[in-house]
Amino acid sequence: MAVVLVFLCAFFSIVTHTEKSAGPADAARQLAERMAGGGTILLVGRGSDEDREFVTGVGAALRKRGLEVVGEVVGEPRDAREALERLAREGKKLGFIGATAEAAEWTVLQEAATRFPALGAPRMVIPVGVRWPTFLTRQNLLNVANQIAVVAILAVGMTIVIISGGIDLSVGSLIALSAVGVTVLIRDWAGATAAGAGELFLCSLAGVMACAGIGLVSGGLVALFRVPPFIATLAVMQVASGVAFMIARGGSIYEVPDGFTWLGRGADFLGIPNAVLLMLGLYGGTHFFMTRTVLGRWVYAVGGNATAARLAGLNVPLVLLFAYAFCGAMAGLGGVVQASQLKSGAPTYGAMYELYAIAAVVVGGTSLSGGEGRVFGTLIGALIIAVIQNGMNLTNVESYSQRVVLGLVILGAVLLDMLKKRDWRWLTRLWRADPGRL
């Protein structure tokens, strides 16, 4: 599966290859070359930190070389127009406009020569930077990881349930329930926007524990009453979603303090989003649990053959109860992250997420019939889905086609995995056309 992920990354890197703005030093050199014959320059950038750095950096470098910088604009097209008007009023002549690639899209700059004839005929110069894939920028890669964090956290719980031979359809609804429950608790119990960090933690913990409890109920239905997992969790899915709508009274809850967004939007360690760190931590921990602890190995045994496991003396109900409770807790945690990212809770969150989580697990090589699978495989599966979605957004594929492509890629990835596991000779067997064996 890792091959598929690398291939997708490479593909989107090639497709999103575009020119990036030059750094301040390099840009100043290019502009100075163009201005060798004399003249004045106005520097323009959009209102981002990056552009501000560009404009002030280039301005300082050009002044140092003794060139005349008549203005620096960082902001909106309107600011650029005002600067041009001011220069025209003062009777200044403008030789050049130095702009970042983004500000160069502004029509006010493109039409400066015709709209402000008093300035002379300023020429726009866009310093040329290196070409680099938009997909492979640091910000975008963090985006990909951040966007999939919630589904990936769901999928780690789902992996355990599927390895145990079951399935959990309720995780999407649990996201909504947890998000709504936690935000309502913050609003009504912790003092709304005045809530402190400790209270936020307690509210979030309550949400996670409640979802773990609901997972325990699903597990009980499956383990003790022998209800098929599909049916048991389908019922829980309906109940959880309905309760979420009841608690929220249909609307969204947004009376939460700014500090609540720390988990979903903060990035304290090396600029990596906290949600991504949480996700990685959970995968590491679960991988250790599934490969190195007794209970983890029992999950494989129960999923492989529940009867054999029971006869071998394993506590099968305990394993199932644990698997569903863990899955519920992960869904609850996913709901907290979702609410934190969106700074609000609404009962519509998480719709269809159970299907994305199941897709991530299956693409990651875990068998739906239970007993085999790897936790890190699921992480790769989740990343494949995230990369496809992100890549298609970057290449402007429209919504309808996105779903078709996503479905086909999931299918392709699973087929590839099946082929790899099977003996390739089945193909040659087909050629021999032995009707008795087909």
Partner 1 sequence: MIRSHRRFLSLVLAAVALIPCAAPSASPRKARIGVSLLTLTNPFFRDLGDAMKEEGAKCGFEVSVNSGEFDAARQRNQVADFIVQKVGAIVLSPCDSKAIVTAIADANKAGIPVFTVDIAALGSGAKVVSHVATDNLGGGRLAAQALIEALGGKGRVAILDHPEVESVILRTKGFDEELARQKAENGVTMQVVARLPGGATKDKSFKAAEDLLQAHPDLNGIFAINDPSALGAVAALEKAGRLAQVKIVGFDGMPEGKQAIKNGQIYADPIQFPDRIGRTAVQTIRKYLQGDDVEAQILIPTALYRKADADKDSSLKK
Beta-strand pair 128-133/17-21: antiparallel
Look at the chain and count its residues.
438
Looking from the CA of 148 toward its CB, the CA atoms found within 13 Å total: 26
In the bound complex, what is the minimum distance in angstroms from residue 399's beta carbon to partner 1? 5
In the bound complex, what is the minimum distance in angstroms from residue 54's beta carbon to partner 1? 11
Q: Is there binding between residue 398 and partner 1 (CB under 8 A)?
A: yes
In the bound complex, what is the minimum distance in angstroms from residue 183's beta carbon to partner 1? 11
DSSP 31-84: HHHHGGG--EEEEEEESSHHHHHHHHHHHHHHHHTT-EEEEEEEE-HHHHHHHH
Q: Is there binding between residue 378 and partner 1 (CB under 8 A)?
A: no
Which of residues 80 and 299 has its CB atom nearest to partner 1 in the complex? 80
Q: Which of 37, 38, 49, 432 binds partner 1 (CB under 8 A)?
A: 49
Interface segment toward partner 1; rule CB under 8 A; list 70-78, 212-220, 282-290, 306-314: 70-78
Of residues 287-316, those binding partner 1 (CB under 8 A): none
In the bound complex, what is the minimum distance in angstroms from residue 76's beta carbon to partner 1? 7
In the bound complex, what is the minimum distance in angstroms from residue 27's beta carbon to partner 1? 12
**Structure letter (DSSP) for residue 22:** P
Interface segment toward partner 1; rule CB under 8 A; list 12-20, 281-289, 408-416, 424-432: 12-20
Q: Is there binding between residue 338 and partner 1 (CB under 8 A)?
A: yes
Q: Which of 193, 305, 315, 348 binds partner 1 (CB under 8 A)?
A: 348
Helices (H), 164-272: 171-188, 197-223, 229-248, 262-265
Burial 325-338 (b: 16+ CB within 10 A, else e): bbbbbbbbbbbbbb
Which of residues 128 and 205 has its CB atom nearest to partner 1 in the complex? 128
Which of residues 231 and 355 has its CB atom nearest to partner 1 in the complex? 355
In the bound complex, what is the minimum distance in angstroms from residue 79's beta carbon to partner 1? 8
Whether the CB-CB separation of 73 and 43 falls below 8 Å is answered with yes
Of residues 399-428, those binding partner 1 (CB under 8 A): 399-400
Q: Is there binding between residue 51 and partner 1 (CB under 8 A)?
A: yes
**Structure letter (DSSP) for residue 350:** T
Beta-strand pair 40-46/17-21: unpaired
Residue type at 49?
Answer: D
Which of residues 132 and 289 has its CB atom nearest to partner 1 in the complex? 132
Q: Is there binding between residue 3 and partner 1 (CB under 8 A)?
A: yes
Q: Is there binding between residue 26 and partner 1 (CB under 8 A)?
A: no
Residue type at 431?
Answer: W
Q: Is there binding between residue 56 and partner 1 (CB under 8 A)?
A: no
Of residues 99-118, those binding partner 1 (CB under 8 A): 99, 101-102, 104-111
Q: Is there binding between residue 147 and partner 1 (CB under 8 A)?
A: yes
Whether the CB-CB separation of 187 and 255 falls below 8 Å is answered with yes
Q: Is there binding between residue 193 and partner 1 (CB under 8 A)?
A: no
The partner residues of 41 in beta bridges, in order of sequence, read 69, 96
> How many of the chain's residues bind partner 1 (CB under 8 A)?
74
In the bound complex, what is the minimum distance in angstroms from residue 140's beta carbon to partner 1? 4
Of residues 252-271, those binding partner 1 (CB under 8 A): 252, 254, 261, 265
Give the separation between CA 374 and CA 334, rounded to whole angstroms.
20
Q: Is there binding between residue 178 and partner 1 (CB under 8 A)?
A: no
Per-residue binder mask for partner 1 (CB under 8 A), 211-250, x = binder: ---------------------------------------x
Q: How far is CA 393 from CA 113, 363, 387, 389, 407, in A?
A: 36, 21, 10, 6, 16
* Other beta carbons less than 10 A from residue 207's beta carbon: 28
Which of residues 378 and 390 has its CB atom nearest to partner 1 in the complex? 390
Q: Which of 117, 242, 251, 407 binds partner 1 (CB under 8 A)?
A: 251
Q: Which of 63, 64, 65, 78 binds partner 1 (CB under 8 A)?
A: 78
Task: Look at residues 164, 160, 145, 201 and name the one whose alpha carbon lies nearest to residue 386.
Answer: 145
Whether the CB-CB separation of 223 and 320 falls below 8 Å is answered with yes
SS3 125: strand
> Helices 171-188 and 353-363 meet at what angle, rounded to 10?
130
Q: Is there binding between residue 349 and partner 1 (CB under 8 A)?
A: yes
